[in-house]
Amino acid sequence: MIVVFLGPPGSGKGTQARELSQKTGLLHISTGDLLREAVKKGTELGKRAKEYMDRGELVPDGLMVAMIEEVMPPEGGFILDGFPRTVAQALALEEMLQRHGKELSKVVLFEIQEEDVVQRLSGRLTCSNCGAVYHKVYNPPKREGTCDLCGGKLFQREDDREEVARKRFRVYQEQTQPLVEFYKRRNKLISLNARENHRLVSQKLLEVLKDGG
């Protein structure tokens, strides 16, 4: 199974992708996590990507497509979390999958409004060591400031500040939303109400993936 998770920043894609990956063994490929790792390591890609990420803008398509090409596994299923994000990326993905004799199974759209997103992002805490994600109110860590899984230090992402979060939401509407029609036309789209609580969203996600929406 090859699944794309589509949706605004903070809609819960990463949280659900990690969980689904643990339950099913599907590989979780998060472009945001890969980029943040590249920034941390100070690679050439990281240096080029950082300025876009800090401004809440999309990293250029060419860089993103090359990155996916590099990490796509030759065998087995995977979840693409945060890719594609433009029509150009979606077309490149189609071409890439075809070349490898693979086919996209489904695209799950996480639907949520701007105000919910801002509330979620302003309370998000991320582990500096393993990347696990918490929320100050909805999913707090057992010990303040410390990751339950690895004991790493939790921090707030720079791009989760309110003005950057709102800009990311606008960028999503302008550049990523056209993918909803794109995948509807290909009969791949399944919509999910991402405002529900964590447990309900996970349950619904498993159901829609099992029966194809």
Interface residue with ligand AP5 among 46, 52, 91, 140 (CB under 6 A) is 52
Binding mask 7-26 for ligand AP5 (x = CB under 6 A): x-xxxxxxx-----------
Spatial CB neighbours of 190, under 8 Å, sequence gap ≥ 6? 106, 107, 108, 109, 208, 209, 212, 213
Q: Which is nearer to ligand AP5, 14 or 20 (CB)?
A: 14
Burial status of residue 163 (CB atoms within 10 A of its CB: 0-12, 13-18, 19 or more): exposed
Whether the upstream peptide bond of residue 84 has omega within 30° of 0, thus cis, is: yes
Cα separation, 95 vs 84, in Å, equals 13
> Could you list the active site residues?
13, 85, 124, 157, 168
Binding mask 161-180 for ligand AP5 (x = CB under 6 A): -------x------------
Residue 101: CB minimum distance to ligand AP5, A: 23
Q: Which is nearer to ligand AP5, 75 or 167 (CB)?
A: 167
Cα separation, 163 vs 32, in Å, equals 19
Spatial CB neighbours of 51, under 8 Å, sequence gap ≥ 6? none
Give, as ranges, the residues between 68 and 107 that touch ligand AP5 (CB under 6 A). 82-83, 85, 89
Coil/strand/helix, residue 98: helix
Q: Is residue 138 near ligand AP5 by the rule CB under 6 A?
A: yes
- Contacts with ligand AP5 by CB under 6 A lie at 7, 9-15, 31-32, 35, 52-53, 56-59, 64, 82-83, 85, 89, 120, 123-124, 133-135, 138-139, 159, 168, 197-198, 201
